[in-house]
Amino acid sequence: MLVTLAANVLLWPVHQAFMPVFAEVLGLDAAGLGWLLTCGGLGGLACSLVIAMLGDFKFKGGLFVIGTAYWGALWSLFALSRTVPLSFALMACIGLMSASFGVLQTTLLLMTTEPEVRGRALGLQELAIGVVPFASLGLGAAAQAVGVGATAFLSGILLVAVLLTLAVRLPQLLSYSGVNVPGRAGAGRTALRHRRT
């Protein structure tokens, strides 16, 4: 839930509000902006399909944490880029890593939550996602003060810092697989909960 909140405060507003400014900095017109966004979409689609084909794979938690950290780092690199081909390539990679966050945030939430409280957990997740408009106001004010590039760069770095802190404080999440073992339904969830306490 903390990762979902951090990502929606720090990065989704950048993607939703700042892309026209990045396109202008790169000298792209409306069609160029469209192609830039298409690169991100294609990367996200490709990663989503790969995750779907993997099925019940191991180390879901590791992919979630590491993939989201790379997502933040790639946004920081994109904010520094002034070369069109490099920006297109970075946006495709951003799409790849965003899928590891987008797909696994709900998967892991459901796998590590008891059935009787899953509805409430999903409601809290939607509340965390709903902060984007308010976060956009804050990042917009920061961008007006220090620039769009600097704001996006710092947002990406802050998300990486959040993920590194989480990895240190909750290392069992990195190895969490949640793989169903016959006769041991919920064993992975129970193990993660016990380690957390």
For each of the chain's 197 residues, which pLDDT tens digit applies?
Answer: 888 888 888 888 888 889 999 999 999 999 999 999 999 999 999 988 988 888 787 888 888 888 899 999 999 999 999 999 999 999 999 999 988 888 888 888 888 888 888 888 888 888 888 888 888 888 989 988 999 999 999 999 999 999 999 888 888 888 887 754 333 334 444 445 544 44
Of 8, 5, 6, 30, the C-alpha closest to 20 is 30
CB atoms within 10 A of CB 192: 20
- Please state the pTM of the whole predicted model: 0.80
Q: What's the confidence (pLDDT) of residue 192?
A: 52
Q: Which residues contact 190 (CB under 8 A, 6 or more apart)?
A: none
Q: What pLDDT, on a 0 to 100 scale, did the predictor assign at position 29?
A: 92
Contact between 156 and 83 (Cβ < 8 Å): no
Provide the pLDDT for residue 22: 92
pLDDT at 100: 84
Q: What pLDDT is attached to residue 179? A: 54
- The pLDDT assigned to 188 comes to 46
What does the block give as tokens for 188?
């992975």
